[in-house]
Amino acid sequence: MYLNYSGPGHKHPKQCKKRHIFYNDYDRLKHICNYISVRQGETIKKFQEDLDAVMSDIGEMHITLENFLSKLRSLQGARSIDEDVRDVIGTASTIEMKD
């Protein structure tokens, strides 16, 4: 399961069939983290700091959802982040999910 983004700044080759979170789609990742931070009982500021650290660590144009979660989990130390992400993605109308 991946987040799919095909709006402005989408530079991934069309022939690639993999779906990715795009590095320049920072607002959608921030939107996800705002939802998760409430569920995790943490402040949005702390979550944003971890998100910034994850994104700067990866430094690629695109990352998979699993890769993103793995790096975020290592900073957060929380195992339930996966389920929270999958739950909130379903409720965040601005985020498009494709299986």
3 state SS of 30:
helix
3 state SS of 63:
strand
pLDDT at 3 over 60: no
pTM: predicted TM-score of the whole model, two decimal places: 0.31
- Residue range 31-86, pLDDT digits in tens: 666 666 666 565 556 666 766 666 665 554 455 566 666 666 666 655 555 565 65
Helix (H), strand (E) at residue 21: strand 21-22
Cα(61)–Cα(29) distance, integer angstroms: 14
Spell out the alpha helix ranges (H) of 1-99. Answer: 26-40, 44-58, 65-76, 81-91
Cα(98)–Cα(90) distance, integer angstroms: 11
